[in-house]
């Protein structure tokens, strides 16, 4: 059973039904036999961007996400410590945490960020 972890922008595209999500990725997500996961780190990242006016999302976004069946993954101590062992191919702290979580969970990340391929993590492209 394949579980998928969505990068923050991909989670937003799924939740907001954005045309930016590639049809192949949309199909992969819709037909995944396992659970679709979103990290609490993504919730935090969206909250920061919304609070500074860089992103506009409904206040009910994460309630709707959970209602639609998306699973939220808490950030564990192991996830946080796992970041320490990642090479610095990527400097974004949220993305590094997502990589650490995907490694710990043994799940592919659905992302638009090609720098993820530099890490020991399976990734699925989400853009066209």
110, β-bridge pairs: 6, 124
Contact 123, 111 (CB under 8 A): yes
Q: CATH number for the domain including 86? A: 3.40.50.1010
Strands (E), 50-100: 71-73
pLDDT at residue 1 in the model: 58
Going by C-alpha positions, the residue among 25, 4, 9, 32 that lies closest to residue 108 is 4
The parent domain of residue 48 ranges over 4-117
Q: Is residue 123 part of a domain?
A: no
Residue 123, classed as helix, strand or coil, is strand
Spans of the chain below 70 pLDDT: 1
pTM above 0.85, yes or no: yes
């Amino acid at each position: 059973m394949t579980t998928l972890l969505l990068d923050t922008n991909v989670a937003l595209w799924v939740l907001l039904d954005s045309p930016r999500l590639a049809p192949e990725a949309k199909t992969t997500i819709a037909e995944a036999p396992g659970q679709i996961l979103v990290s609490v780190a993504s919730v935090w990242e969206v909250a920061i961007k919304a609070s500074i006016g860089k992103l506009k999302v409904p206040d009910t976004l994460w309630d709707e996400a959970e209602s639609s069946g998306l699973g939220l993954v808490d950030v564990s101590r192991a996830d946080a410590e796992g970041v320490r062992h990642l090479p610095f191919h990527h400097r974004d702290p949220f993305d590094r945490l997502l990589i650490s979580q995907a490694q710990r969970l043994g799940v592919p990340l659905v992302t638009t960020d090609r720098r993820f391929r530099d890490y020991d993590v399976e990734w699925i492209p989400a853009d066209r």
